[in-house]
Amino acid sequence: MHAGRLPHYRSMSDTVCLHLHISGRVQGVGFRASLQDTARTLQLLGWVRNRHNGQVEALVQGSRPAVDALHDWCRRGPPMAHVAAVTGAPRALDHSLSGFRCLPTAP
Q: Is 31 helix (H, G, I), strand (E, B) or coil?
A: helix
Of 34, 19, 27, nearest in space to 84 by CA: 27
* First vs last C-alpha separation in the chain: 27
CA 16 to chain centre: 12
**Could you confirm whether 10 is annotated as catalytic?**
no
**Could you confirm whether 50 is annotated as catalytic?**
yes
Catalytic residue among 32, 40, 75, 76: 32
The residues assigned a catalytic role are 32, 50
